[in-house]
A and B are shown apart, each in its own frame.
Chain A
Amino acid sequence: MSVARRNLLLFLGVAGLIVLTGFTQSWNAALTIVNMGLISAVMALGVNIQWGYAGLYNVGTMGFVALGGLATALVALQPVSGAWQAGGLRIVTALLFGAAVIVVAAQLYKRMPKGLPRFAALAVVLVGGFFAYRWILDPAAAGVEAINPALQGNLGGLGLPVLLSWPAGALLAAGAGWLIGKTALGLRSDYLAIATLGIAEIVIAVMKNEDWLDRGVKNIVDIPRPVPFEVDLQASEAFLSFASNIGANPVAASAVVVKLLYAGLFLAVLLALIWLSEAALHSPWGRMMRAIRDNEVAAAAMGKDVTRRHLQIFVLGCAVLGISGAMLSTMEGQLTPGAYQPLRFTFLIWVMVVVGGSGSNLGSVLGGFLIWYLWVQVEPWGNGLMALATSGMADGSPLKHHLMESAAHMRLLVMGVILIAVLRFRPQGLIPGK
């Protein structure tokens, strides 16, 4: 069987599974899986660009996805009236001041000779800078957060169309990626992994606690949508006649149509990204990247600037993760910083990349769909299996109750077993990269 044919069969297989969900559960459920699969595929592409192309071990996926989500709020929300007067400018000043303190400290560290004076100077700049920063920021933040705290209490956004937040999310995540890459990419394998894992936690902590920025754990729930609301569709004459023409229930049809619109948007992004990364991978630049991945020392000896290329690809991967995060928040219409968990937004994405095949874009897409499908579907399967297994037991017995409860956790087990089995028996993944 040729490679292309096998790949096609794999994709058809996953598509078949999802279509089956449509028949057995509902088309709404199937489309939800498709949409999340599309977003997961973009996330997996982002990780694959860093890991598969360059061997960079970024376990901070969650942080960049969250930054993309933050971008939707900052771009699409209406500005909160009075917030900029109450302290918006002062907050911006505080942030600029904080950045200036760090730049000064970095310059001092570079310019002054090693020794006690340098240490003292750094300590004075950093500690003094921190207190001054808090002195500027705190009253302004309190002022902004005092405005209508039940609904707002944040600066709000720019009031631009929400689709603009996708490139904005890419820019925000890429900017953060540049800063992080600049400081952390010198670290060796496992040290880089733990550092990025930690940085992602820091990003989430900031998003959870800086209420003036994004309302923190109070969440933002009114991000505008790029597609019409289901209720508006159900109220429109044109849609109602369309639904009755195809003989569908208008309520179910409106949900499906909205999801299809989202799916169209996501698919366009995914296809564009795949096209771009395939073109990049087959260009001289892509060959250089693979050369660096396979043997850094040899590539450096051939005059390639390994550090710069690493930084470049790190930033590109972060940008893709940022787009996926913005897409996710756009679809959900809300930003809930507390929902970003490393299990779901870092480790699960890595499972997708490894199972799909690291270094292969198609593999990442397949992995994204397949693993997301399993993540969602294993739970009902576990419940069904457990119901079958315990059907002989008396209702209300504590053991039966416990077993039924535990079925919900089957998906962790299944994910683990899949990951271990793929790594052991097919380490190159379902669609191997070149």
Chain B
Amino acid sequence: MDVLNALVAFLNFVILPAATYGSQLALGALGATLVYGILRFSNFAHGDTMAFGTMATIIATWGLQAMGVSIAPLPTALLALPVGVLATALVVLATDRLVYRPYRTRKTPSITLVMTSLGVMFVMGGLVRVFIGVDDRQFADGERFIFTAAQFREWTGLTETMALRTTQVITLVATIVAVAWLNWFLKRTRTGKSMRAFSDNENLALLSGINPERVVTIVWILSAALATLAGVLYGLDKSFRPITYFQLLLPVFAAAVVGGLGNPLGAVAGGFVVAFSEVVVTYSFRKVATYLLPADWQPEGLLQLLTTDYKVAVSFTVLVLVLLFRPTGIFRGKAA
């Protein structure tokens, strides 16, 4: 029984939150890594693209709610998601035409593009704040829990209990679907193959008649869609605030770099590596230990490696450690 209790506590406080957060990071990192794979620069505007997509989705959600549309028990935001994706894709494509495309006609050092993306980050962050303000916003509606802590206790009779929130399940399901689809798209479709060819060897791809502008357009659309999805899932699970999304840029990039820039598989793995290390290192294992150890071995302290305030630092320590031993990430990413 005690083993079960320990397992439930571990599942509720470590596995579930880390898996949810890891999925959100993985989706964000996928968008950033795809852009790096094709265009060869770190898009610093990605965090604010996530914020923009989430903002567009929230505004559409408000519209739907005002019209009385609802898909309860699911949150209305899922219905508004396509609108958000469309708006973000249009903005990102317009940015590409106006800002990035002129650099593609001549060879430009990647630093110029990174700096430009910094400018785009400022503009997008400004736009988001102008449209929706800086406040914290909750936009999740519908059923909050699949099952609550009380229900779980009633079913199992265990001392330790857990709850499963709707948003957590939605995040996990949406991530699995998105990653599976992306994998199929990149491996099986003609367009996906042309993208991978372009990423591996630009000149060879051009020689075989791949249209670079088409590849670039598709990668921006994919990146916008993934950013919006990641942003909306994060916002549903926690809440939406422009500054938080700007700060998400850091763990998202840590995930992409840990996995290896330009490598989609790596981005997903990186997302989970970062999320799990953050949660495991800052979790107090006292509860789990209480169940597992005999009574006279009970721990005195919290059994916590680092306080939760160190969460951000943990993801970057992982990043630095990985880069020390694998300078281009776990899955050997690309270098400009």
Q: Which residues of A contact B (CB under 8 A)?
A: 57, 130, 183-184, 186-191, 193-195, 197-199, 201-202, 205-206, 208-209, 342-343, 347, 350-351, 354, 402, 405-406, 409-420, 423-424, 427
Contacts and interface: CB of A to CB of B under 8 A. Distances in A.
Contacts of A405: 133
B256 to A, nearest CB: 8
A194 B119 contact: no
A198 B319 CA distance: 8
A409 B124 CA distance: 11
A414 B111 CA distance: 21
Given A202-B316, A209-B310, 4 more contacts: A187-B327, A190-B110, A350-B115, A409-B134
A409 B335 contact: no
Interface of B: 36, 41-42, 99, 102, 110-112, 114-116, 118-127, 129-131, 133-134, 246, 250, 253-254, 257, 261, 305, 307, 309-310, 312-313, 315-317, 319-320, 323-324, 327-329, 335-336
Q: By DSSP majority rule, is chain B's interface helix, strand, loop, or mixed?
A: helix
A309 to B, nearest CB: 19
Q: Which 3 A-B pairs have the closest CB atoms?
A: A416-B122, A198-B316, A412-B126
A402 B59 CA distance: 15
Contacts of B126: 409-416
B91 to A, nearest CB: 13
Contacts of A188: 327-328, 335-336
B323 A419 contact: no
B41 to A, nearest CB: 7
Given A419-B115, A420-B119, A420-B123, A191 B133 contact: no
Nearest to A424: B102
22 contacts: A184-B320, A187-B327, A188-B328, A194-B42, A194-B253, A194-B257, A195-B320, A198-B320, A201-B312, A342-B250, A405-B133, A406-B131, A406-B133, A409-B126, A412-B126, A413-B122, A415-B119, A416-B125, A416-B126, A419-B116, A420-B123, A424-B116
Contact of B114 (A186, A190, A206, A406): A190
B158 to A, nearest CB: 31
Contacts of B261: 190-191
A326 B270 CA distance: 37
A119 B310 CA distance: 26
Contacts of A187: 323, 327
Contacts of B313: 201-202, 205-206
Given A183-B324, A186-B327, A417-B123, A194 B116 contact: no
Interface centre among B120, B122, B125, B246, by most chain A C-beta atoms within 10 angstroms, is B122
Given A194-B319, A209-B310, A423 B122 contact: no
Nearest to A209: B309
Contacts of A206: 313
A347 B47 CA distance: 14
A195 B313 CA distance: 12
A190 B122 contact: no
B119 A419 contact: yes
A197 B315 CA distance: 12
A343 B45 CA distance: 12
Contact of B123 (A184, A194, A416): A416
B317 A202 contact: yes
A413 B127 contact: yes
Contacts of A190: 36, 41-42, 110, 114, 257, 261, 335-336
A57 B305 CA distance: 33
B252 to A, nearest CB: 10
Contacts of B309: 205, 208-209
A417 B118 CA distance: 10
A194 B317 CA distance: 12
Contact of B250 (A198, A414, A415, A420): A198
A434 to B, nearest CB: 18
Nearest to A198: B316
A423 B112 contact: yes
A423 B116 contact: yes
A409 to B, nearest CB: 4
B323 A195 contact: yes
A201 B112 CA distance: 24
Contacts of B305: 130
Contacts of A343: 246
Interface centre among A351, A418, A423, A427, by most chain B C-beta atoms within 10 angstroms, is A423
A201 B111 contact: no
Given A184-B320, A420-B123, A423-B115, A198 B254 contact: yes
Contacts of B324: 183
A199 B316 CA distance: 7
Nearest to A131: B305
Nearest to A192: B323
Contact of A406 (B110, B111, B129): B129
Contacts of B122: 347, 351, 412-413, 415-416, 419
B42 to A, nearest CB: 5
A416 B42 contact: no
Given A188-B328, A193-B42, A350-B115, A420 B120 contact: yes
Given A208-B309, A413-B127, A191 B327 contact: yes
Contacts of B110: 189-190
A370 to B, nearest CB: 16
B13 to A, nearest CB: 21
B257 A191 contact: yes
A333 B131 CA distance: 36
A413 B134 CA distance: 15
Contact of B253 (A184, A197, A423): A197
Contacts of A415: 119, 122, 126
A424 B99 contact: yes
A34 B303 CA distance: 51
Contacts of B118: 347, 350-351, 419
A342 B168 CA distance: 30
A189 B336 contact: yes
Contacts of B335: 188-191
A239 B226 CA distance: 64
Interface centre among A195, A209, A343, by most chain B C-beta atoms within 10 angstroms, is A195
A420 B317 CA distance: 32
Given A194-B319, A205-B310, A409 B129 contact: yes
Contacts of A195: 257, 319-320, 323
A16 B42 CA distance: 38
A116 B316 CA distance: 26
Contact of B307 (A209, A351, A423): A209
A418 B99 CA distance: 12
Nearest to A343: B246
Contacts of B115: 350, 354, 419, 423
Contacts of B129: 406, 409, 412
